[in-house]
Amino acid sequence: MDFQNTLEYAQQLDQADELRAYRDAFNFPKIDGKQVIYFTGNSLGLQPKNTQHYIDEVMTDWAELAVEGHFHAEKPWWDYHERLAAPLAKVVGAKKEEVSVMNTLTVNLHFLMVSFYRPTAKRFKIICEEKAFPSDQYMFQSQVKFHGLNPEEVIVEVQKREGEHSWRTADILEKINEVGDELALVLIGGVNYYNGQVFDMETITEAAKSVGAKVGWDLAHAVGNIDLQLHDWGVDFAAWCSYKYMNSGPGNASGIFVHEKYLNRKDVPRFEGWWGTKKETRFLMKPEFEPMHNADAWQVSNPPVLSLAPYLASLKMFEEVGMEALITKREKLTAYLEFILQEVERYTKGKFEIITPKDRGCQLSVFLHGYGKPLFNFLMKNGVVVDWREPNVIRLAPAPFYCSYEDMYRFGCILEEGIHQN
């Protein structure tokens, strides 16, 4: 597409944007009285304005009904989490019964590993990506040690090639075939947090299944960002946080996916608790666990309703818009940001490069060869909220719900000014 680096052109793109009204549905921080340009929806999404209503509703029910709110609130608390399943299923490409909401991301990955990482003397190895998000690395290591194994002998990291910033699918497939009968699990971040790369989840899942391994995905940076078809791809399990592109608030509840072939089965090992047992008999206090027929069987405790309320508020907007429309805008908006960066780069003579490959979602990661923290600090001081990652990378995530084309243009102006000053 032939973009133009002018304010008038950016404003024309905004006028033609079918999702432009949703920008006003979010609260923006301000610096010096001006709304910021917000590029960190890949870390914490902005607050939807309707969140307050959903939280107030729960607080009012608590004040007026107390314990009776569990059954007599307008949205009874005991099944509040069930309201999130259907809209979430559409976002991740699943059946409603394959999705649940509980705990937080790494907690859920641990719970799911109990079910899907069952090492034997022959099949015990785990494949993940090089330098996975630290929490995933800690989770892998502790799970392996829990089984009495040595992480150095179990965890197989797929490396990027020398001098390259992203992984090649061919290298992942080669590693799967190389490990072969020893492979118990493939668990990778579906979208890499550092470089923004989207992995070919369908192809990798198929390859891992062909050698008899289980497949899971950490979708923290993927849900609400890219097209997902977890059921059709045959993924065994997945988990994600809700506070990035899903805009549910800091540290909020995590979602899980468990493929339907594992549902309504007593022979699937898992850590069990009260809220995973059948709701029809839950309050009979029976000593035997009877799993829910759906992914709720992995729930342990009653859901944190005050956490789920903001998540439900955001999901209402996802239902209204649909992932197809969000992805369409995301592609064009990110392409325009890339164009703006290239325009600025013409004046910097190779002082920075985009290290995110074309297989991407919202995020562009920019390696600053000639500039360091001072440029990052300049951007932040001048109303551009970006994310810094060592050793010298800024991450930019133009979330389609609330970022505009004018934001991209104005960011380019501020970036060029910052480069000249630094």
We report the CATH number of the domain holding residue 394 as 3.90.1150.10
Residues 331 and 204 in one domain: no
Q: Tell whether the model's pLDDT for residue 274 goes beyond 70.
A: yes
Reference 412, options 359, 345, 329; nearest CA is: 345
In a domain, 2, yes or no: no
In a domain, 126, yes or no: yes
What band does 1 get if pLDDT is binned at 50, 70 and 90? confident
Residues 125 and 269 in one domain: yes
Q: What percent of the chain has pLDDT over 70?
A: 99
Q: Tell whether the model's pLDDT for residue 44 goes beyond 90.
A: yes
Q: Which pLDDT belongs to residue 419?
A: 87
Asked if residue 359 lies in contact with residue 226, where contact means CB atoms within 8 angstroms, the answer is no
Peptide bond into 400 cis (omega under 30): no
The number of folded domains in the chain is 2
Q: Tell whether the model's pLDDT for residue 206 goes beyond 80.
A: yes
Q: Which pLDDT belongs to residue 266?
A: 86
> What length is written for the chain?
422
Q: Which of 321, 345, 379 is the last residue of a domain?
A: 321
Q: Which of 301, 321, 341 is the last residue of a domain?
A: 321
In a domain, 284, yes or no: yes
Residues 18 and 76 in one domain: no
Residues 311 and 386 in one domain: no
pLDDT tens digits for range 4-25? 999 999 999 999 999 999 999 9
Residues 153 and 301 in one domain: yes
In a domain, 1, yes or no: no
- At 187, give phi and psi (nearest 5°): -140, 110
Radius of gyration of the chain (CA): 23
Tell me the β-bridge partners of 420: none
Give CA 79 to chain center in angstroms.
Answer: 24
Q: Which pLDDT belongs to residue 369?
A: 78
Residues 264 and 364 in one domain: no
Residues 177 and 64 in one domain: yes
Q: Tell whether the model's pLDDT for residue 242 goes beyond 70.
A: yes
Half-sphere exposure of 410 (CA within 13 A, CB side): 18
Q: Which of 321, 342, 359 is the last residue of a domain?
A: 321
What band does 234 get if pLDDT is binned at 50, 70 and 90? very high
Among the ranges given (145-154, 289-298, 347-356, 411-420), the one the predictor scored with the smallest mean pLDDT: 347-356
Q: Which pLDDT belongs to residue 153?
A: 97
Residues 159 and 250 in one domain: yes
pTM: 0.96
Q: Tell whether the model's pLDDT for residue 349 goes beyond 80.
A: no
- The domain in which residue 291 lies consists of 53-321
Q: Which pLDDT belongs to residue 356?
A: 97
Residues 334 and 257 in one domain: no
Q: Which pLDDT belongs to residue 368?
A: 83
Q: Tell whether the model's pLDDT for residue 169 goes beyond 80.
A: yes
In a domain, 43, yes or no: no
* CB proximity list for 398: less than 8 A, separation 6 or greater: 39, 41, 330, 333, 334, 337, 362, 407, 408
Q: Please report, as a single letter, which amino acid is at residue 204.
A: I
pLDDT tens digits for range 101-120? 999 999 999 999 999 999 99
Per-residue pLDDT, averaged over 371-392, amounts to 90
In a domain, 40, yes or no: no
CATH number of the domain where residue 88 is located: 3.40.640.10
Residues 304 and 235 in one domain: yes
Residues 295 and 205 in one domain: yes
In a domain, 48, yes or no: no
Torsion of the alpha carbons at 82, 88, 89 and 93, rounded to the nearest 10: -170
What band does 350 get if pLDDT is binned at 50, 70 and 90? low
Residues 301 and 326 in one domain: no
In a domain, 377, yes or no: yes
